Chain A
Amino acid sequence: MKDAAQNPFNITKAVDFSDQEIHDYWVDMPTGDSFSSMAKPTSPMPMLIVGGKGSGKTHLMRYFSYPLQRIRHGRDLLEGIRRDGYIGIYLRCGGLNSARFRGKGQPDEKWDDVFAYYMELWLSQLVLGTALDAVGEMPEVLSREPNIVRDLLSLVDLREHTSPKSLWDLNLLLRGLQKELDVAVNNSGMTGKLPVHITVTRGDLIFGIPKVFAANLSPFRDCLFLYLLDEFENLSEVQQRYIQTLIRERQNPCSFKIGARTYGIRTLKTYSADEENKEGSEFEVLPLDTILRANDRYQEFAKRLVAKRLAEFNRVPSNVETLNSMAQSLDKHFEEFEKSPFGRSETAFVTDKYVGRDRPYFKTLRQNLEKGLDADAARGLSVPDEIEKAIALLRCPEFPLLEKVNIFIFYREWSKCHNLQKAAKEIADDCRAFLAGTLKHGRYQTVLEYFRADLLAQLLRETDQRQRYVGLTTFVEISSGFPRNLLIILKHIFAWATFNGEFPFRGTPISIRSQQAGVLEASEWFYRDSRMIGRQGQHVMDGINRLGTLFRGIRFSEKPSECSCCTFSSDLSRCTDVARRVVDLADKWSLLINVGGQRDRNTERVDAKYQLNPMLAPRWDLAIYRRGVLALTPEEIDAAFNPEHAGKFDEFAEKRIARMAAPFFGHARRPLGGLPPERTQSLFADGDYD
């Protein structure tokens, strides 16, 4: 066991790991859906591995890199590479400092060539160094070396440089050329000159070295040279265009895996007659977080990831079996509320807290009914005594959750202008029958089933309690296919538990309050971390804030129209360009998660559907499980996401929430008795309950 004050979840970025740690912390998907089968490292078809921050791109790509193959295969390295069918050459584009290759008074075309040449030299050294490291000691190399060097030198314009005699010399030559280029690039701003003599034709070495090695050395005969270019988003559009050209002009035995943030692919254009690469023809895409999110074994995988962290932290050897068994027992390390029929133990605090005084939701109901009575907007009630009678019928003191169900249904009836006395009696009958177990179907169960989480959330808020985001399963759900988000949540929970004097994962479960504090802190971190820089970033955050506020308003209204409201759909084609762009940016920055299409119930049109990233749910006390979908009009989307229309947002939001608020439920302030029953859509038909 390491120092208890240390936190096993402290490192959350793969880039901070050593090769050994990448190996040690590697966890695969449960059988059948291995990462290899997703990323297909032996496939010659290039692949873009895209995903939001923390989706695991770097860990995955480094796992396929040669240093990791070396760790995995140990002494049987060459045999291991042969079995793998590939050798991985990993490069972080972030390390390039790509901004050096622009401006400084030099024309763009010149920079394009210089950048291409620089990449050629760098990747050549990487591939040459990697291959030599793998086979350097083999007698076959010694005998074939002159031929290989000769073949490779035919690709390089040596000029005044001495002809290298060995592969190591050749690598030194390439390094020297790169250094010369570095000096020229770094000084061009001061000298105003960029004296570069390009010695290699684009792609000649990148594709040539693997080809010559495969032709001459048996271990590489059927081996794919896999270039793993990570952090692609750090390259400018023209620089990406060069890589896209390499992808298009790819030659055997080479292929590419390109790792990029969702927003990071700036172009698919190439320099090959300005053609654009096409998905399916020139490359395929692995949308990592989307795939993880959709995988029904993501929970299992995520828990194994946690188990692995703990095993490494405690220096406990782990194999697949021990890891599985650890993963299965992890839930017990998190304190949870005891589950009981009708939520009795989860809501016991209400019974304790409000001894001898009215519960807050009845207080609010009474105030609403009094207002309704004054405005003649409470059909069936004509004198204050009748209010008390109705309230008495809705009480169910032992089960506060059922009281909330009763009140919710009562509000629904009220919004439909039904007779409230009659409604209260029917609800009371239903409640009694439900408790007795004689009511098996109908609205009572349905409300409880669909709105349980919302009603519990309301109950907590009304009684000044924190929302309950607790339990490992909940945290995995919140992470939504971003393993790093899970680690960050656990990092904060672990820190809170330690601060609170607990011994997380050693003995008693982590307390609910440590979990609540940790998840809230993680949510705040995510909110801050996801901020894009600049004005557009501000527009995105403003839009997200408005959306969160709207969802919260709905969830905590008297008669929420949607259950677990954290998703919206809309016909974005009818929105302004600005709003569309802001929504798109929010999606690319993973603040919104694209969850497919939603069929509009009136027009059959398929609208875009987005969920607010569950990492943000604690910020607005929202649900993390997606159920109901709020259909927003294009005007509402504009008001939320287009800064020029933002002035209308409050009005839209108020109008929408007013439809869910007593005593008028969005009706004009005139007697409800005079109105026909509201034409409401079915309470559940408008939801998406996947």
Chain B
Amino acid sequence: MEELVRSLMAKIKTLNETLWEQRAREPNVNEWLDNFAISDTNPPDERVHALFLLSNFMYFGSIQIRELLKALYRDLYRYPIMEGIRRANHDTLDSAVIGPSFEAERRATRFLGAGNPSESGCHLLYYFRQENALSKDLFIHTHEIFTRVGGLGALQLRYPNVTRYIFIDDFCGSGEQGVSYLRDLVEDIRRLKPKVFIGYYVLFATTSGISRIRNETAVNAATAIYELDSTFKCFSVESRYFQAPVPTGIDRVFCRQMCDRYGRTMVDAPHVLGFEDSELLVGFHHNTPDNTLPIIWFDGAAGPPWKPIFRRYPKIEW
């Protein structure tokens, strides 16, 4: 067991140096491990299991997020438009045709953050604009989509020439928040301009979450740069973290029970393993989503004392 702890710690050290932006040094890790029960002489050992989970934590630092924002613009927005332009122009490769047409499309686009301006989706817009060298005019708040005739009259689109609304988000877990935010908004826009293109582009999404957005809203496209399928669900049968060879002494069922037991003291069901029991092990430079196991991010603010390893900042709202 000592050897396993050593190798897990070595892996965590490497992750900390290379990807985790030095956010989890050994004293932080030990402080976090102190949340867990001290092992009696018989395994399984809670702390070793916690360490194992941590060694599989997937963190995206500032550099990675910025790169993903570039990929989002390039792969989900720019390339499909250019593909359309080429198709409409007999598969032309002529940059004199493609360039201006794309520029016209871009001028007729507005980018928006998905969610409340204080939330992370909107927060990322600044970096999205920086990384992709986009003009400020292309970004609007949600309330700027509409205006009223004469100030009080019927609702109408503020920018009638806009042909694309692109909602940018950082994370789509269960899809619940995305659906509740987008459903009415998208319908209102579409009612005023049926042929407008509305896209929901997100950095990370679970397969089920992004499907919900597609199925329960009227967006034209809902796509993620990094899609988390069911293998990312920590304790599912097909969990990628517990595929053979699992280190000796690590047990999936015990691990789930441990997270469930602690999770219950932190949040209510059905969120004890993360929002709607998402069971994820993901964190970002700017925050940790609540879909991640609460043992990772819970900060003891409204519950039992607990030292998080990757703190989640906003308060839980459920």
Contacts and interface: CB of A to CB of B under 8 A. Distances in A.
A binds B: yes
Nearest to A3: B22
A496 B16 CA distance: 11
B176 to A, nearest CB: 38
Interface string A461-486: 00010000000000000000000000
Interface string B263-289: 000000000000000000000000000
A501 B27 contact: yes
A501 B25 CA distance: 6
B66 interface: no
Contacts of A500: 25-27
A495 B25 contact: no
Contact of B13 (A5, A464, A495): A495
B10 interface: yes
Interface in A499-531: 499-501, 517, 521
Interface residues of B, number: 9
B10 A521 contact: yes
Contacts of B27: 500-501
A499 B25 CA distance: 5
B17 interface: yes
A5 B18 CA distance: 11
Contact of A5 (B2, B10, B22, B26): B22
A495 B26 CA distance: 11
Contacts of A495: 13, 17
A521 B10 CA distance: 9
Nearest to A500: B26
B13 A496 contact: yes
Nearest to B16: A499
B6 to A, nearest CB: 8
Chain A's interface: helix, strand, loop or mixed, by majority?
Answer: helix
Chain B's interface: helix, strand, loop or mixed, by majority?
Answer: helix
Contacts of A501: 25-27
A111 B27 CA distance: 61
A498 B26 CA distance: 9
Interface string A36-48: 0000000000000
A534 B240 CA distance: 33
Contacts of B10: 517, 521
A227 B249 CA distance: 60
Classify chain A: how many residues form its interface, as a range. Answer: 10 to 19
Nearest to A464: B2
A5 B17 CA distance: 9
A498 B16 CA distance: 11
Nearest to A495: B17
A500 B2 CA distance: 17
Contacts of A521: 10
Contacts of B16: 499
Interface in B3-62: 10, 13, 16-17, 22, 25-27
B305 to A, nearest CB: 21
Contacts of B2: 464
B221 to A, nearest CB: 40
A521 B22 CA distance: 19
A517 B6 CA distance: 9
Nearest to A513: B26
A496 B26 CA distance: 9
Contacts of B13: 495-496, 499
Nearest to A514: B26
A464 B1 CA distance: 12
Contacts of B25: 498-501
Contacts of A498: 22, 25
A557 B27 CA distance: 39
A495 B10 CA distance: 11
B167 to A, nearest CB: 36
A5 B22 CA distance: 8
B2 to A, nearest CB: 8
B181 to A, nearest CB: 38
Contacts of B26: 499-501
Interface string A450-464: 000000000000001
A495 B25 CA distance: 10
B168 to A, nearest CB: 31
Contacts of A464: 2
Nearest to B12: A499
B303 to A, nearest CB: 27
Contacts of B22: 5, 498
A495 B2 CA distance: 21
Interface string A1-39: 000010000000000000000000000000000000000
Nearest to A521: B10
Nearest to B26: A500
A543 to B, nearest CB: 26
A372 B2 CA distance: 34
Contacts of A499: 13, 16-17, 25-26
A464 B2 CA distance: 10
A323 B290 CA distance: 53
A501 B10 CA distance: 14
Nearest to A4: B22
B129 to A, nearest CB: 28
A638 B220 CA distance: 71
Interface in A375-425: none
Contacts of A5: 22
B54 to A, nearest CB: 13
Interface string B127-138: 000000000000
A510 to B, nearest CB: 13
A553 B10 CA distance: 27
Closest 10 CB pairs of A and B: A501-B27, A500-B26, A499-B13, A5-B22, A499-B25, A499-B26, A501-B25, A501-B26, A495-B17, A499-B16
Interface of B: 2, 10, 13, 16-17, 22, 25-27
5 contacts: A495-B13, A500-B25, A500-B26, A500-B27, A501-B26
Given A499-B13, A500-B27, A517-B10, 17 more contacts: A5-B22, A464-B2, A495-B13, A495-B17, A496-B13, A498-B22, A498-B25, A499-B16, A499-B17, A499-B25, A499-B26, A500-B25, A500-B26, A501-B25, A501-B26, A501-B27, A521-B10
